Structure 1
């Protein structure tokens, strides 16, 4: 037995994901059993499936055999490197191909490590976890461009990426997804009355209230732009109606949390304090649109909430 390794996670504390690619199911199962305590494990039995999973879910690391029928590991590597969406995913080859030229070629093509079989489990674990730690460091650096400077929550770029990933997960599992749009009511009037410094402080407070109200695993809150925020709430029920009801309750809790801040707003037509309007839609994700259809419907619900008097939530089943 080898000493236990620490579970890996990114800067946000989220477990990292490893995609295991091998045409032999016993090999996939062995690696999955070895890694599952330390990372979430996805599997693919061929090169084409590996490309599909990598493009949809963007794992933190790919552990792949070279010798596979139809499309070998080097061809998969080449295809991943050619796609901007998957180019940055580190790839470790675990293969029975011992030729030094093959190892040199794989590393020259962009693989980050090359492990030859047979190999002891502690060696695999040590080298895979080392790559995951480096991947976490790279992701932490990327997170710097995904944070809204004013509020400290995710920015629009991060939201777009998160929505795409959550939609891909929802399609793979057959689950629904809830997407929300939030607008601070009468915010121009707030800035005109209290000044832009107070406006910035109010946006930071709203961001904190939204994040506090939506803090279950998978919940996502981002500043969409200006006084608008965006929400992602994963599937919350066994049926479409149950999922929509859960999303509606979460959205109402967020709306109430902002109102409870008690920030005075003398020029609001909705309430004497700062409030928000929220549009929330629950439905399936259309393949290839990255969640844009749900986002557009959430925006329509937001418009209805504002037209209905503001400081309220309007929901819809897609």
Structure 2
């Protein structure tokens, strides 16, 4: 009997041990990871800054440490800087050449790498950066985005890499690009997208934007209500989209033509914007299906009920009038 109890106890202990180890292993994330650029002889410690020449190879190194209790597999992905709706510089999006006037993409100048780190392990990783064969002007704001391969949608880490040939500042220029719909934390948004199409960063840009929808319901003041947004962007990346976000307040996105008008100001420089863009049914359906807790828009249904009641009242009145007229006609003929 004792042997059976000991055997069952051993099985239970092993099961708990395996389950505990598996539980611990899933807890690893970039929250427990530290990334440090290895920079020699420079006062800059938070990013790489390279005075580059065409068609040259430059090497940069990152020191990555896992302070977590479980192992972690990371992806270190090169990309260009982009601008968030909050007015900050991010590196989460994959940026390709041609976007917003970008001549060269940083992801084409070096390669992404995977790295696996055991608990309390540090590794040094080197990247070779090959500059374009032709000269470029302004600032190329590239960087490495580091994220957990098992949790790709979770927030990651960034290490900027700034490249310039002449180290001369270039001013940014804002133009109206388009209107799009997207999902943010399972909530629908409509973005009026501006574009900084120059290789120069911008700071402290204030944007005022108005958005309205063109349609029959809007003419009757029953559809999409015109909305305004005032947003200050502390930093805008070179050659990047500048999204101005309109929260749908849990209402579904409606397809149709949207008109955006607005202004932007940076110091003494002013811009004015005006344009009409279409959100297709496919785009609206994609956003609405990915959103949660949407409030159904029953405006059309209520309008149809009112029209049906009006038609019913009309036919009832017309029937009574017709019946009364027939009775008067019969009385005259008698």
TM-score above 0.5, yes or no? no
The TM-score by the shorter chain falls in which range? under 0.3
Which TM-score applies when normalising by structure 2?
0.23
User: Which has the larger Rg?
Assistant: 2
More helix by share: 1
Which TM-score applies when normalising by structure 1?
0.24
More strand by share: 2
